[in-house]
Structure formats: structure tokens, C-alpha cells
């Protein structure tokens, strides 16, 4: 058993794809046209870190309720965790790419950590070895 996908509500597909692939280095695994239950067009877009099993379904907000959740899917908490082999290199690359970090990197019992914001404003932990 495994978790295959988690959804992330975004404003638009293409800028989100660019953020996850160009900035974070994820792979674009799937990008297919689809439709909503009532026949409106949408896309099935999945990104995944290289070598990872769990992916992220980028879901364009549909309606005011979903638009209100963009950037606040977990009520302001860190809700996503990206573990990397080389924390310092990943952090520097992301800073160079314009990623917004909330505070400076720090060392915790579980490793090196720095909180950053994705394209929608959701909080993520960048994690490395202690």
C-alpha cells in the first residue's frame, strides 16, 4: 500500500508546472486534457520529484471555495515536505531561482530545515540530513 498522489490547488496549470519542474526540479509525469463531472474542460497534471513514488496532482481551482484555499490548504501550517540529499546545494539553487524562504535554515533533531513557499503560497519544509 502507498499514497500515490496528493492534490494541490493552484490558480493556473502552466505557471504551477513551471514552478515545480523548472524551479524545484520535479518531473512532469502526466498532463492530459480532461473534463469536470459536468463536462467543463480541465487537465490531469501530475508532477513528482525524480525517483519518488508519491506525486502531486496540480488541480486548478474551480469556484470561489477552491480559489479561497489557494496557498492556504493546511491553514497556514507547513503541509508539504521535500527531502533532499544535499540540503545546502538545494537551498542555494532555490534561493537563486527566486523561491521565497520564511526565515533562515536551521538544524532540528530530524535534520536541516528551511521553510519555503510554493507558487501558490503554501508552506513547505526543505529537509536535509542533520
pLDDT string in tens for the chain (130-residue length)? 999 999 999 999 999 999 999 999 999 999 999 988 888 889 999 999 999 999 999 999 999 999 999 999 999 999 999 999 999 999 999 999 999 999 999 999 999 999 999 999 999 999 999 8
- Put simply, whether the predicted model's pTM sits higher than 0.85 gets the answer yes
**Per-residue CA distances from 74 to 28, 61, 129 (Å):** 24, 15, 25
Three cell numbers written together for 13: 496549470
Are residue 40 and residue 77 in the same domain, yes or no?
Answer: no
Are residue 57 and residue 100 in the same domain, yes or no?
Answer: no
Q: How far apart are the first and last CA of the chain?
A: 29
In DSSP notation, 61-107 reads --SHHHHHHTT-TTTTSEEEEEE-S-HHHHHHHHHHTTPPEEEEEEE
Are residue 104 and residue 119 in the same domain, yes or no?
Answer: yes
Are residue 54 and residue 85 in the same domain, yes or no?
Answer: no
Three cell numbers written together for 111: 535534520
Domain with 14 in it: 1-70
Are residue 96 and residue 111 in the same domain, yes or no?
Answer: yes
Are residue 78 and residue 58 in the same domain, yes or no?
Answer: no
122 Cα distance to chain centroid? 8
Q: Which of 53, 70, 87 is the last residue of a domain?
A: 70
Q: Which of 20, 43, 70 is the last residue of a domain?
A: 70
Helix and strand numbers (H, E) in the chain are 3, 8
Residue 12's nearest CA partner among 50, 59, 81 is 59
Are residue 92 and residue 65 in the same domain, yes or no?
Answer: no
C-beta separation of 87 from 112 below 8 A: yes
Q: Which of 70, 93, 113 is the last residue of a domain?
A: 70
Place of cell 493556473: 12
Amino acid at each position: 500500500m502507498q499514497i500515490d498522489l496528493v492534490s494541490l490547488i493552484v490558480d493556473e496549470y502552466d505557471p504551477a508546472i513551471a514552478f515545480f519542474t523548472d524551479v524545484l526540479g520535479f518531473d512532469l509525469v502526466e498532463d492530459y486534457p480532461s473534463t469536470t463531472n459536468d463536462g467543463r474542460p480541465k487537465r490531469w497534471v501530475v508532477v513528482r520529484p525524480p525517483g519518488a513514488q508519491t506525486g502531486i496532482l496540480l488541480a486548478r481551482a474551480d469556484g470561489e471555495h477552491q480559489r479561497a484555499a489557494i496557498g492556504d490548504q493546511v491553514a497556514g501550517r507547513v503541509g508539504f515536505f521535500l527531502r533532499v540529499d544535499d540540503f545546502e546545494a538545494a537551498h542555494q539553487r532555490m534561493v537563486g531561482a527566486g523561491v521565497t524562504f520564511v526565515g533562515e535554515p536551521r538544524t532540528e533533531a530530524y535534520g536541516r530545515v528551511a521553510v519555503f513557499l510554493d507558487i501558490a503560497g503554501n508552506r513547505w519544509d526543505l529537509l536535509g540530513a542533520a
